[in-house]
């Protein structure tokens, strides 16, 4: 059976491990490195599909746990699958719910069988086994599904990390066996914390099982940029060069730049939309807080030179007014700009990689961004 | 000086007083009857300008009282005026704040001089005289400004209505004298409740002063459809046929259909966006409540045959999911559909008037809408 999702490596930067590639999916081809906006509940908060397109979104993420609970995967399936449901005809990736076992740990009981959730909505039980995680994702019908993984709570001793890593590998095998759709890719997820031996063993054993791509999990759970870097350093060398690498939950511009240098191809994060709703806008010179009185009569856009649907028409003065007036359009425009910012960051990274100057690009971008 | 806004009467229905016309403004020509979405604070809640265009909006309304308090008319002026501020390059009408003297009466003190408001935001004083209402609206720069009027609280005895009507006429004269912009129209506002003699006298005296168009005020303040009809019946015969007639604050589809039959050209109302935010959608067969469990897996659009940006892509099942999940996109899509519904209603009315069959159109539409 042909791989439903194929990664084509276009080139590697000469002075770093940064890569350019193409991710071919049943819903179109994505240029990598790519940033994926998060649509947890089958909508990127406040942003209609045409604005997602207009700000440069290529591929979206949605969430298995949340959609299984509401509206239920069978409702999504009966309404034509996730693409039709949310009117996004581009590629979609669904997260397996493994991260919710960590982030909603007070509602989750983890056993070898899987994760039993008490719904955060109505207390009903969701028994998320590896098999069920795949079945739900097959019903949702994303282009890329993720295995169910076990992300240990931090701080964790090496023994606990090792145990979670072993379980992640066993669950990955069960996920692989449970697959029935030949038009949906499944990515494995590496655990192992910042332990080189655990990461490398996890990578090798997942590659033995054989997935369509590999994610670096167990980051973006409260660790420092230095710890993210270390996890990447010990993970990426063990991953096949000709398959896609996805760093889950990372979206801070500085971290994205670092991870690209380490050879990561795909990112997702709620940061641009969450910050946008809180009136914080991303710019190449660091964040701008839109409620600030300094913007009161400022005719400039959020970011000079930005061609996004917010910056091309609206002033800082107007957007500040919208936030002070508690108007929905404020969060909408700030989210749109922040997404456009991250999409442009990775687009510029792709260009720099193609021209063999990624290291310089990264250094200059980090300098401008500040800490 | 040439009239900045000219109304061209294209035709009157043979069996009713329904009219078709063109309202030519400095920002384009509007086909009437027209429904104007309300953007009180310089944004139609949740709807970006391109979606307003896509759902058929021709002309918007914004509010003098609210914008004078926040961000302040001088901020709007310094940012290029209202059109530039809110990135709407079509016609805009600003309401004078007279209605807020009624709706925020606990914060307003009315004297012959004008209305003194204690800001609902910070308690600061806004002294809204007729002269100030015009000055603010000139700073905002809408195509059509409204005179400051006195809308009496209901129920009101005839004496109180008469007093408010007299004051409205005196204020209208002061507004007319205060004008300095030759690129902005000013419409007079008729008061007089349902008293034929007061309405006719108010109309005659406003016409003597001479405005660019006339609004029927003092409706949509809690009265029955029958009372609206009566106010229209006693008002419209006294208004010049070749000037635009605007019924303020009316947007219930049944009332719009009736008012068109009485010869009204322009409408505004928060109903489509407010109902949309509350998950109630307008259809030609009456309202549909989107949270209803019946829509759970319903693949149909909000309204069959509707080509709006919501109905052309999204199912009832998806929109219900958005409302249950408290996602912004639910109110956005429901608002867009409701606006499209009202724009289509008046577009169909225009066609029917043009073809001399408005009475039949209205009867059939009212029958389908139900009570």
What does the pLDDT look like over B117-154, one tens digit per residue?
999 899 899 999 999 999 999 999 999 999 999 998 87
Instruction: For domain B20-266, give its CATH number from 3.40.190.10, 3.80.30.20, 3.20.20.105, 3.30.420.40.
Output: 3.20.20.105
Query: Quick check: A70 contacting B, CB < 8 Å?
Result: yes
Percent of chain B scored above 70 by pLDDT?
99
| Mutation site, B37, B72, B87, B337, interface A, largest A CB count within 10 A | B87
pLDDT tens column, B295-316? 999 999 999 999 999 999 999 9
Does the annotation list B96 as a binding residue? yes
Give the burial class of A122: count Cβ atoms within 10 A of its Cβ; 0-12 exposed, 13-18 middle, 19 or more buried: exposed
Q: Between A and B, how many residue pairs show a Cβ–Cβ distance under 8 A? A: 115
**Is 60 exceeded by the pLDDT of residue A62?**
yes
Interface contact B48-A75, CB threshold 8 A: no
pLDDT in tens, A306-343: 999 999 999 999 999 999 999 999 999 999 999 999 99
In chain B, where the domains are located: 20-266, 270-371
- pLDDT tier, A1 (very low <50, low <70, confident <90, very high otherwise): low
CA neighbor of B316 nearest in space, from B294, B301, B330, B331: B301
Confidence band (pLDDT; 50, 70, 90) for B2?
A: low
pLDDT of residue B3: 72
pLDDT level of residue A2 (50, 70, 90 thresholds): low
A26 touches chain B (CB under 8 A): no
**Between residues B219 and B67, which one has the greater pLDDT?**
B67
Q: Do A317 and B42 touch (CB under 8 A)?
A: no
Model pLDDT, residue A187:
98
| Percentage of residues in chain A having pLDDT higher than 70 | 99
Percent of chain A with pLDDT over 90: 90
Marked catalytic residue, from A13, A89, A95, A348: A95
Mutation site for B-interface testing, chosen from A273, A294, A321 by largest number of B Cβ within 10 Å: A321
- pLDDT value at residue B130: 98
Question: Pick from A49, A79, A327: which is nearest to B315 by CB?
Answer: A79
Task: With CB atoms and an 8 Å threshold, state whether A75 touches B332.
Answer: no
Interface probe with B: pick from A318, A320, A335, most Cβ of B within 10 Å? A318
Residue of B nearest to A80 (CA): B299
Q: How far is B297 from chain A (nearest CA, A)?
A: 6
Is A211 annotated to bind a ligand? Reply is no
Of B79, B314, B317, nearest to A75 by CB-CB distance is: B317
- Decide if the complex's ipTM is over 0.90: yes
Tell me the pLDDT of chain A averaged across its residues.
96
pLDDT at B192 over 80: yes
Inform me whether the C-beta atom of residue A207 falls under 8 Å from chain B C-beta atoms: no
B 330-369 → A contacts, CB under 8 A: 331-333
A80-94, A235-249, B215-229, B236-250: least confidently modelled range: B215-229
**What are the tens digits of pLDDT across the range B28-87?**
999 999 999 999 999 999 999 999 999 999 999 999 999 999 999 999 999 999 999 999
Over 70: is that where the pLDDT of B158 sits? yes
Catalytic site includes residue A268? yes
Alpha-carbon distance A63 to A93, whole Å?
A: 8
In this prediction, residue B203 carries a pLDDT of 96
More confident residue, A102 or A363: A363
Say whether residue B87 is in contact with chain A using an 8 A CB cutoff. yes
Asked if the C-beta of A327 comes within 8 angstroms of chain B's C-beta atoms, the answer is yes
- A41 contacts B325? CB cut-off 8 A: yes
Q: How far is B105 from chain A (nearest CA, A)?
A: 21
Q: Which residue of A has its CA nearest to B329?
A: A46
CB within 8 Å of B190: residues ≥ 6 apart: B168, B199, B202, B203, B206, B214, B215, B216, B217, B218, B235, B239
Q: Is the pLDDT of residue A210 over 80?
A: yes
Which range has the worst mean pLDDT, A141-155, A222-236, B195-209, B234-248? A222-236
Please report the pLDDT score of residue A219 as a whole number.
Answer: 83
Give me the catalytic one of A143, A258, A265, A268.
Answer: A268
Say if residue A201's pLDDT is above 90.
yes
Confidence of residue A153 (pLDDT cuts 50, 70, 90): confident
pLDDT (tens digit per residue) in B335-361: 999 999 999 999 999 999 999 999 999
For position A113, what pLDDT does the model report?
Answer: 97
Model pLDDT, residue B14: 87
Whether residue A80 lies within 8 A of chain B, CB to CB, comes out as yes
Tell me how far CA of residue A192 lies from CA of A200, A249, B117, in angstroms: 8, 16, 64
For residue B328, give how far its alpha carbon lies from the nearest alpha carbon of chain A (Å).
Answer: 5
Please check whether residue A43 touches B, CB under 8 A.
Answer: yes
Contact B299 A42 (CB under 8 A): no
A311 is in an annotated binding site: yes
Between residues B190 and B223, the one the model is more confident about: B190
Q: Do A324 and B79 touch (CB under 8 A)?
A: no
User: pLDDT digits over A4-49, tens only?
Assistant: 899 999 999 989 999 999 999 999 999 999 999 999 999 999 999 9
């Amino acid at each position: 059976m042909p791989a439903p999702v194929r990664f084509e490596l276009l080139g590697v930067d000469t002075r770093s491990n940064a890569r350019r590639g193409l991710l071919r999916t049943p819903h179109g081809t994505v240029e990598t490195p790519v940033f994926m906006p998060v649509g947890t509940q089958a909508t990127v908060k406040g942003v209609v599909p045409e604005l997602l397109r207009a700000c440069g979104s290529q591929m979206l993420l949605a969430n298995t746990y949340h959609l299984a609970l509401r509206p239920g995967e069978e409702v999504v399936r009966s309404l034509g699958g996730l693409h039709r449901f949310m009117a996004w005809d581009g590629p979609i990736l669904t997260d397996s719910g493994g991260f919710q076992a960590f982030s909603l740990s007070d509602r989750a009981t983890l056993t070898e069988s899987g994760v039993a959730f008490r719904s955060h909505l109505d207390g009903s039980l969701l028994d998320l086994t590896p098999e069920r995680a795949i079945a739900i994702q097959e019903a949702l019908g994303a282009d890329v599904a993720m295995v169910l993984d076990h992300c240990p709570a931090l701080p964790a001793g090496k023994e606990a990390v090792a145990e979670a890593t072993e379980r992640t590998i066993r669950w990955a095998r069960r996920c692989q066996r449970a697959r029935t759709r030949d038009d949906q890719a499944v990515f494995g997820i590496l655990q192992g914390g910042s332990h080189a031996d655990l990461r490398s063993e996890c990578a090798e054993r997942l590659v033995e099982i054989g997935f369509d791509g590999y994610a670096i999990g167990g980051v973006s759970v409260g660790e420092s940029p230095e710890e993210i870097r270390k996890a990447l350093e010990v993970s990426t060398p063990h991953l096949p060069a000709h398959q896609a690498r996805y760093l889950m939950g990372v979206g801070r511009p500085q971290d994205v730049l670092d991870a690209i240098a380490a050879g990561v191809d795909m990112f997702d994060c709620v940061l641009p939309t969450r910050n946008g709703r809180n009136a914080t806008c991303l710019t190449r010179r660091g964040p701008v807080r839109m409620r600030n009185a300094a913007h009161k009569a400022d005719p400039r856009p959020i970011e000079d030179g930005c061609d996004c649907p917010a910056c091309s028409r609206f002033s800082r003065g107007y957007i500040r007014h919208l936030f002070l007036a508690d108007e929905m359009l404020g969060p909408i425009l700030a989210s749109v700009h922040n997404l456009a910012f991250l999409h442009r960051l990775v687009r510029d990274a792709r260009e720099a990689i193609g021209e063999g100057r990624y290291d310089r690009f990264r250094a200059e971008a980090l300098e401008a961004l500040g800490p």
